[in-house]
Amino acid sequence: MYKLDLQKLTLLLALLAGFLTFGNSFFAGYFTQRDQLFEQTLEANRAYARKLADITDRFFLNSRRELAYAAESLSTRFDDKDWRDAQTARLKLKGDQFSRAVIISANGQIVSASPESASLVGITVNSVGATQALTLRAPLITDPYVATDGTYLLAVTHPIFAPDGSYLGYISASLFLRERNVLHELLGVHYHRDGSYLYVVDTQGNLIFHEDGQRVGQNVSSNAVVQRVLLGHEGGQRVINTLGVDMLAGYAPIQSTGWGIVAQRPTAAITAKLAELARTTLLNAVPFALFSLAVFWWLSRLISAPIRALADTAEHWGAPEAASRISTVNSWYFEVSRLKVAMLAGVSLLQQKMVALEAASMTDPLTGLRNRRGMAFALKQFDLLDQRYAAVTLDIDHFKQVNDQHGHDVGDAVLRFLAEIMRECSRPTDVLCRMGGEEFLMLLPETDASGASIAAERLLARLRQTVSPTGTPVTASIGIACSGNHASPEATFKAADEALYRAKRAGRDRIVIAAT
């Protein structure tokens, strides 16, 4: 019966171990990187959707104020045709925000319109939105509807009352949804080659804004993301959209209207880049694999030479020592199989421990932020990319009193609370660190002192408005320094610390920027 000799077994073992180790590392790295990219994309889309929702909220708030002002001015001059026309013209021309402005009397008749149109003035309206505004007699942002002239639009309305309280009608500013309107300017439409885009849905799940104008008006309420955002939720989720495309979607509600904004990117755009990276990695690994094979072959010959010599001597049965020498070889293959199993298990366990150790060495266990080692790693990345950054140092005010009055458990909860507020008030690219005790650090890449001050003020405002684990809000003092103004990271941090101490001495709960 043929048996493999030691040289072939050693070479086979080395090749198998190398292949499994490389395969495990390759696929583990691939899927880990894919999951990280997915999470980063979801968070970026969520933050983008939240930003646009806030911008849209502010637009409608300002629109309501404009209409309220016009309604107030019309309350005593409603019968003055020139004054009515002046108000609709002012609304239409002010920043060119609206597609059309009209005034409708209490009996539902259009008495003024801008742009001026003889075909509109005198018409009695009977559309859904107009009927709702006449019935409700209160400020209103309608869902999209088809107007009397067949235009698909949404309207912002405000009632007009006479000084004696009698209802005169209402003033309305409309957006034509199937034409370019102010939403395109607010939401900043960009066409990405990778298929990323955003859209807006009304309270019924109908599209009121989409990069493909032909889709405006379609109902997409079957989309799981649309269902969640219309319930008032905000977040990110992987979803198959109504066209069957796998998307990474971030979503946020528009509070003033109940609508939802969804920003999404095709999953395939990310996996395609990863696949290209995987192919490149494999091609780069081929020369090393061939070199490794040559080394393994040489090592296997070196290892097998003494054992082969022992096997050769076993052919000489007449020698007194032949039996004992051959008997020592009989258990070799079992030992080799044990070594193979142990080696593979050991490599797998070692990889797991190294990954866990590296993550633990760079993370603060209490807050989940980076520790000093993690900060040092980020600084190396900034140096490699030649990035400037702003260093923002934070220190919780009167933290010793928190520990003394509430105990160290509450003190730890306050530290975790601050870490969470820092995450919510920062960008995905910002580096958040806990330096020890109640001292924290934020590194803001490509940010000057003005931008860092805005970010810091946003953080302080959030702290003042949020109840901490102590039962009341806590405050913090902040110092800011920019790397471009100092010769080294150490000098930058020292300047930020000095600015922090000045903030403490100036009364706490404030921001001080280091002098250049």
Same domain, 391 and 486: yes
Is 98 part of any domain?
yes
| DSSP result, 336-360 | HHHHHHHHHHHHHHHHHHHHHHHHH
Nearest CA to 172 among 102, 261, 238? 102
Q: Position of tokens 């990889």?
A: 351
Same domain, 22 and 94: no
Catalogue the E-assigned strands of 269-323: none
Q: Is the pLDDT of residue 190 over 70?
A: no
Interacting residues of 243 by C-beta distance below 8 A, sequence separation 6+: none
> Whole-model pTM?
0.48
Q: Which amino acid is at 427?
A: R
Once rounded to an integer, what is the mean pLDDT over residues 369-373? 92
Same domain, 24 and 88: no
Q: Which amino acid is at 250?
A: G
> CA-CA distance, 262 to 253, in Å (whole number)?
9
Q: Total domain count for the chain?
A: 3
Is 21 part of any domain?
yes
Of 181 and 310, the one with more pLDDT: 181
Same domain, 336 and 432: no
287-329 pLDDT tens trace: 877 777 777 777 766 666 555 654 555 455 555 554 454 444 4
> CA-CA distance, 516 to 502, in Å (whole number)?
15
Is 112 part of any domain?
yes
41-83 pLDDT tens trace: 889 889 988 998 898 888 888 888 989 999 999 999 999 999 9
Out of 312, 327, 354, pick the residue that ends a domain. Answer: 354
What's the burial of 362, exposed, middle or buried (CB within 10 Å: 0-12/13-18/19+)? middle
Out of 156, 176, 196, pick the residue that ends a domain. Answer: 176
CB atoms closer than 10 angstroms to residue 412: 14
Is 127 part of any domain?
yes
Count CA atoms closer than 13 A to 340's CA, side-chain side. 17
Question: What's the pLDDT score for residue 174?
Answer: 87
Same domain, 495 and 400: yes
Is 224 part of any domain?
no
421-433 pLDDT tens trace: 999 999 999 999 9
Same domain, 321 and 395: no
Same domain, 386 and 509: yes
**Bridge partners of residue 479, in order along the sequence:** 393, 512
82-113 pLDDT tens trace: 999 888 888 887 656 788 899 999 999 999 98
Same domain, 11 and 71: no
Question: What's the pLDDT score for residue 510?
Answer: 93
Same domain, 329 and 377: no
Domain that holds residue 67: 61-176
Same domain, 376 and 463: yes
Same domain, 327 and 407: no
Once rounded to an integer, what is the mean pLDDT over residues 134-152? 85
Task: Give the domain CATH number at 139.
Answer: 3.30.450.20
Question: What's the pLDDT score for residue 434?
Answer: 93
Q: Is the pLDDT of residue 193 over 90?
A: no
> CA-CA distance, 269 to 446, in Å (whole number)?
27
Q: Is the pLDDT of residue 454 over 90?
A: yes
| DSSP result, 160-217 | EE-TTS-EEEEEEEEEETTS--HHHHHHT----TT--EEEEE-TTSBEEEESSGGGTT
Q: Residue 96, by phi and psi: left (phi above 0), alpha (psi -120 to 50) or beta?
A: left
Categorize the per-residue pLDDT at 145 as very low, low, confident or very high, splitting at 50, 70 and 90.
confident
Least confident stretch, 31-40, 200-209, 271-280:
271-280
Task: Give the domain CATH number at 465.
Answer: 3.30.70.270
**Chain center to CA of 63:** 30
Categorize the per-residue pLDDT at 358 as very low, low, confident or very high, splitting at 50, 70 and 90.
confident
Interacting residues of 88 by C-beta distance below 8 A, sequence separation 6+: 101, 102, 103, 112, 113, 114, 171
Are 351 and 25 in contact by the 8 Å Cβ rule? The answer is yes
Same domain, 394 and 334: no
Out of 354, 383, 413, pick the residue that ends a domain. Answer: 354
The torsion angles phi and psi of 108, rounded to 5 degrees, stand at: 85, 15
> CA-CA distance, 124 to 109, in Å (whole number)?
4
Is 194 part of any domain?
no
Q: Is the pLDDT of residue 340 over 70?
A: no
Is 201 part of any domain?
no
